[in-house]
Structure 1
């Protein structure tokens, strides 16, 4: 199998994984961009300034505004004035937001389990090791 075929196969598998994930997000009322924002807040373990959250997501702050608007409307985050800088806005993850993020993490896990169910445990471990090597090589180069 040539490199092009391998790259195409990786792309197709990645797309199937994303589609399985997105399908499981629908009942949660979330899209992948919203999940990324919830994940960044959950992993930070504290409120983040809008500018910092945008940096974490590698998007411009004005692109983040509709994401935060939708999450706030759903009660998953709230905006607060930053006491350290009254011109800055903090985004705070609510308990409901944390719960919904946990649901999204489960959705991602389930999508992976479904996709890789055709492999034995040993094959999944081999694939994990190979993909880790590829990822480490990409980070170094």
Structure 2
């Protein structure tokens, strides 16, 4: 096995899978008016809100320089509101607008459609998810 052959690189396999997911999501998310990164923000907010920008960044593994433009576009679309935290003026809270909360219902079928597109069984997907979680934790630790 050639260690420097592209097809032997785990990082490339993960990258290629990510790009394939992005392409499929792009098509599906167009009807919701969201980009994939915006969809990830909405997923976190549908799960729990309000959140500070810092908490949102931690959940998504994004820095504020990447997250702020996403939030501005979501706010301009009328899906989120941002306001200073009354308890800590340095912190900005992000919460869903009524329109942002209603969008959740339209997004509900998306995860099932995406999982179906993988062609993998629920067990295979659960195993893959667990393995990717372990991989992410190990790589994050190694990068420290």
TM-score normalised by L of structure 1 = 0.72
2:100 matched residue in structure 1: 97
In structure 2, relative to structure 1, the CA distance for the partners of 1:33 and 1:14 (3 Å cut) is closer
What are the within-5 Å matches in structure 2 for residues 1-141 of structure 1? Answer: 4=7, 7=10, 12-43=16-47, 45-116=48-119, 124-128=121-125, 130-132=127-129, 134-135=131-132, 137-138=134-135, 141=138
Alpha-carbon offset, residue 112 of structure 1 = 2.4
Secondary structure of the residue aligned to 1:78 is strand
Bigger shift: residues 55-64 or 67-76: 55-64
Query: C-alpha root-mean-square deviation of aligned residues, in Å?
Result: 3.0
TM-score by length of 2: 0.71
Higher relative contact order (CA 8 A, sep 6+): 1
Please say which of residues 9-18 and 26-35 is displaced more in the overlay.
Answer: 9-18
Asked if 2 retains the 8 angstrom alpha-carbon contact of 1:42 and 1:98, the reply is yes
Give a deviation string over 1:5-45, Cα, whole Å, max 9, x none: 695666555543332222110111100111111112222x2
* Alpha-carbon distance in structure 2 between the residues aligned to 1:36 and 1:111: 14
| Secondary structure in 2 matching 1:90 | strand
Uncovered stretches (5+) of structure 2, i.e. residues with no partner: 1-6, 139-144
User: Cα distance 1:103–1:132, how it changes in 2: closer, same or farther (>3 A)?
Assistant: same
Structure number having the greater helix percentage: 1
Q: Deviations over 1:90-115 (max 9, x none)?
A: 11112221232443342232132234
Aligned residue pairs total 134
Structure 1 moving runs of 4+ over 4 Å: 4-14
Change in Cα spacing, 1:112 to 1:14, as seen in structure 2 (3 Å) is farther
